[in-house]
Amino acid sequence: MKVRPIIPCHSAIQNPAAMYISKKLKPLVKVVPAILKGTKDLAQKLSEIKIDCTDKWWISTSDVVAFYQNIPLKHCIDIICALYEEHTGVPSMDKELKEMKLFILTLHVGNLNLITQYNNLLYHQKNGLAMGVSDSPDLANLSGWSFERNAQIMSHPLIPYYYRWFIDDICAIVYAPSGMEALGVLNIIKFDGMYQSLPPPSWT
């Protein structure tokens, strides 16, 4: 049986900082068009779609393998900072600059140097998002969106329906003559290298 270590950080001392970041990121997650709110939202959007029945189409479902554990954490933080700046605007006033500095400081405090103890040994999570940290779902969702936006998946002419819910579950409808060709169209959905889709924030 294959196993992999996962740091449980639901009670980490830094969690108040992560809760603050989660609260600040909720408005960003809310406006991302590719993220569903849940299964009910999935069904509602499916009911609204208009399929061109003159073309052959396929339903595709997929899962991002070990999404949490494979996210390059420091690159993820850079992306979150850039998305947050894009959403709030480049800080110009002294108060705005202080709030932005607080955001980046809290983002680092809440997600770096997470440690757990097991059998009298201390373990430090060096990469990936930790389970139980309040803002991990927000970081994962927004990191995924950075790639999806860069790939322009929501406006692809052969993909009339594309959504991601529960962070790493994907559902798409693809126009293609065959299943293999549908998979070929969906090959643009690759999460490796996703963190290079945005420039570094201007205030670093």
Residues 150-194: pLDDT tens digits? 899 999 999 999 999 889 999 999 999 999 999 999 988 877 644
Contact between 116 and 8 under an 8 Å Cβ cutoff? The reply is yes
129 burial via Cβ count (<10 Å: 0-12, 13-18, 19+): buried
pLDDT band at 5 (very low <50, low <70, confident <90, very high): low
Query: What is the share, in percent, of the chain residues with pLDDT greater than 90?
Result: 55
pLDDT at 25: 98
Lowest mean per-residue pLDDT among 87-91, 127-131, 141-145, 158-162: 127-131
Q: Could you tell me which of 130, 145, 37, 126 has the C-alpha nearest to residue 74?
A: 126
Interval 20-59: pLDDT, tens = 999 999 999 999 999 998 889 988 998 999 999 899 999 9
CA distances (Å), origin 191, targets 111, 145, 168, 196: 21, 10, 10, 11
Distance, CA of 105 to CA of 181 (rounded, Å)? 46
pTM across the whole model: 0.86
pLDDT band at 198 (very low <50, low <70, confident <90, very high): very low
Mean pLDDT of 88-110: 93
pLDDT of 9 strictly over 60: yes
Spell out the domain ranges in the chain: 15-196
pLDDT of 113 strictly over 50: yes
Average pLDDT, the chain: 86
Interval 67-78: pLDDT, tens = 887 888 888 999
> Is the four-CA dihedral 128, 131, 137, 138 of positive or negative sign?
negative
